[in-house]
A and B are shown apart, each in its own frame.
Chain A
């Protein structure tokens, strides 16, 4: 497994968790928000998004449920669980440490 892919996977999870921290969202919304907020630098396609969502769900970090609104099709919304919230905080900390290290070593700062 390449470091690149490891990193991507780790970051994808963090991104999803972070978006769900704000409120419950469905898959398409998550993909769209990641694209928008990263200014298009990070894009999530179905192929990478849904396996990640299901994996997070299986690890009980997020929980999906079908929600039906009047006059609309039912949609699957995802919600951050308590464990997910904890995991997100842990990941934020380790990413900060990681960037601090990158900064010190390679002069890569983060915003």
Chain B
């Protein structure tokens, strides 16, 4: 018996396959030939003839070897792993190269898809960068999740401030904390080189930095010895202050400075990485820290002197709940021991992180949701484009399938194309993000503290790439699966094309419907915000902010220990400012509306005992011209006068709301009241003035009262200067005038009042601008989507339209034919979108002002806008359809 294997191998030569597989094939063929030969012999052929004929069946051996290899190759070159990674990777690279070639051949498609994806992914990456900076980046302190803010539960659920003596009892009696520390605001006047500078700072307990787990970079931390009335004149500087004011002096430690007229010693400098987030959230960004330095003997250290904030570090393993229960027990015992000092209430502990970011959380949530919608719209659009493209490539795909490409292979090829688009779109999106994040930071209101640190970093990069790939799946999978279902024979022969296209076009219609629905949601969000901000801008703040410059001054230190000295200095400054060209009126006030500070005093009536239940009223101590400068109207009685002095009858004005609330049935004029406890003088109400919005424009006026500075003197004051023209042009003159009059008085927070008003609208405006932007983007993408589907329909039905025209259809019939389909998609999308918006808009509620989250006018307006845009997007294809020349159309195909 011949060695068939050797014979077959000799004829075939080398099969370009892995040797083991080639041997297998040779083995199989050899058996075939052997059996064939045997059969021929048993049929009566002689040995030689049978052998020749059996071997002849191999045909052209070289071609057979090639055919076998070609048929077998994609399986693998090594049999052990079914598909080795290198060949899979090679396949991917081949697919990618092919995809690049295809995309380059369709530049219009590629550009549209890439731009859409870049905007969608870019917007998401940008907002994610902000979210990351503000919410996800952990606080830059050791074990930040163990840091909590604690206090008696206030009306909004936030911990109240605490008095010093109470704090000491908490520190001694609670068991849940590793450290318990204390802060309060501090804004000293620092004199450097004869210039007065007002510094933002904080007074803290000695263990403040230790509680946060940070240390000074230069010098030393505070010790308990520093935190006493005698030892507290030491300060630690921020890195910025050290560089700005002290030229980064390496020998800074031990250097004496004068603040508020008192000697202080610099003992340390914080590292540049230290972020003073706590001061930023509760006061102003601190550049200097000094010990609180209290003793229980001090009047302002009393149990109910609640002006301090308590921050604790939980012991490892202690839960917030356990620490709260323990603090509650301590507070209950304090209440039993000192019943007059405490109101019945419970303790609350909230994570410091939440305390610092709580306000911005819902805002960023809304924005992230909005950009998510933008991306979904982008995905739907690109999927729709891909579907149209695949419909055009159906023949090509069928041919590939006929040539032996498996279904998985075709899906892979299409997914590689989608992935390539998404990655390129993602890279472009990163560029979009790089450009937009600084803009966002610039646009964001200053109250969003950590936003300044937002940048497109590695995490954002990972996010955007992950998003791109997820996106590729979202928009690529549907078209790929559809394409792989393409039936070979029908596609090649052409009779199945119609049904395939029908399915494709239904899918595209659904996608466009989804586009419209999501655009509706975004636009309604934007519409509600626009309406809110519009209503806020229209709100009358109760004063006229136009042409008024405001600036703060502080008169502190031994030179201003007496009220007379302060009043004389205020008078001199006001007189100088009034003389400035362009100034028409000048006044000073303890605080101004929207200025971010407030001073609420107890309000006690004559003839009734002073009670803790007496109302609280916002106090403004002002110079007499204040009402003229601010244009706050007098309602009844008289305004304050220069003649109201420390020597004359104590007088006050009240706001209308105060009058209505406290004297609903009587005349407040001539009534006598005391403010701030039992000890002060009786004051006579001499006038009623209009209310102002103090907190922000969205908050209705609180109860307000006005006292003459001469009878109630402040050392921190805001100057308001009414001007003829642009108030900001007066800034330098005003500064010089004050410096000439009082070189020891720092001037800070200089801003036109309009800016304060704007700042109060800031966070809402921020959300509004972004939602407008995203809404606009969504509208544009939707228009493109609708245009794409309708023009594709027109193109696909050219022949049909031609025939109809030839048979006498009028233009109106053609329009109806084309619009009919479009109209259904638009309407269904619209209805779905309205329903979705109805459910989703409540997330915006906290950002809305005086607009219901289901405002019918906004819903209707958006529906009309979208309908119009969707119809307009169909105009071009419709015109094209009407121009179809039947003779040309019928000649096609």
User: Among the listed A31, A58, A90, A94, which residue makes an inter-chain contact with B72, where contact means beta carbons less than 8 Å apart?
Assistant: A58
Q: Is A81 an interface residue (CB 8 A)?
A: no
Chain A, range 13-39, C-beta contacts under 8 Å to B: 26-28, 31-32
The complex places the Cα of A32 from the Cα of B57 at a distance, in Å, of 13
Chain B, range 63-110, C-beta contacts under 8 Å to A: 63-64, 67-68, 70-72, 74-75
Q: Is B607 an interface residue (CB 8 A)?
A: no
B36–A54 CB distance below 8 A: no
Q: Is B204 an interface residue (CB 8 A)?
A: no
By a CB distance below 8 angstroms, the chain A residues around B25 are: 50
Residue on A nearest B496 in the bound complex, by CB = A94
Q: Is B285 an interface residue (CB 8 A)?
A: no
B28–A27 CB distance below 8 A: yes
A47–B57 CB distance below 8 A: yes
Q: Most B CB atoms within 10 A — which of A47, A48, A57, A73?
A: A47
Interface size on A, residues (CB 8 A): 27
Residue on A nearest B38 in the bound complex, by CB = A28
Q: A31-B32, A50-B25 are in contact. Are A59 and B406 (CB under 8 A)?
A: yes
By a CB distance below 8 angstroms, the chain A residues around B14 are: none
Q: Is B195 an interface residue (CB 8 A)?
A: no
B790 vs chain A, min Cβ distance (A): 34
A54–B68 CB distance below 8 A: yes
The complex places the Cα of A51 from the Cα of B29 at a distance, in Å, of 11
The complex places the Cα of A44 from the Cα of B837 at a distance, in Å, of 66
A46–B32 CB distance below 8 A: yes
Q: Most B CB atoms within 10 A — which of A10, A27, A58, A76?
A: A58
By a CB distance below 8 angstroms, the chain B residues around A46 are: 29, 32-33, 57-59, 64
Chain B, range 202-218, C-beta contacts under 8 Å to A: none
Q: Is B539 an interface residue (CB 8 A)?
A: no
Q: A46-B33, A47-B58, A59-B406 are in contact. Are A94 and B67 (CB under 8 A)?
A: no
B70–A76 CB distance below 8 A: no
Q: Is B31 an interface residue (CB 8 A)?
A: yes
A86 vs chain B, min Cβ distance (A): 12
By a CB distance below 8 angstroms, the chain B residues around A94 are: 489-490
The complex places the Cα of A28 from the Cα of B74 at a distance, in Å, of 24
Q: A47-B67, A54-B71 are in contact. Are A27 and B406 (CB under 8 A)?
A: no
Residue on B nearest A56 in the bound complex, by CB = B71
Q: A6-B402, A46-B59, A51-B68 are in contact. Are A28 and B75 (CB under 8 A)?
A: no
User: Among the listed B31, B36, B71, which residue makes an inter-chain contact with A51, where contact means beta carbons less than 8 Å apart?
Assistant: B71
By a CB distance below 8 angstroms, the chain A residues around B32 are: 27-28, 31, 46, 50
Q: Most A CB atoms within 10 A — which of B24, B57, B70, B74?
A: B57
The complex places the Cα of A51 from the Cα of B67 at a distance, in Å, of 6
Residue on A nearest B74 in the bound complex, by CB = A58
By a CB distance below 8 angstroms, the chain B residues around A32 are: 39
User: Among the listed B35, B404, B489, which residue makes an inter-chain contact with A28, where contact means beta carbons less than 8 Å apart?
Assistant: B35
The complex places the Cα of A94 from the Cα of B58 at a distance, in Å, of 31
By a CB distance below 8 angstroms, the chain A residues around B58 are: 45-47
Q: Is B337 an interface residue (CB 8 A)?
A: no
Can you sample 12 A-B contacts with CB below 8 Å? A27-B32, A32-B39, A46-B32, A47-B67, A51-B64, A53-B71, A57-B75, A58-B404, A58-B406, A76-B24, A76-B27, A76-B28
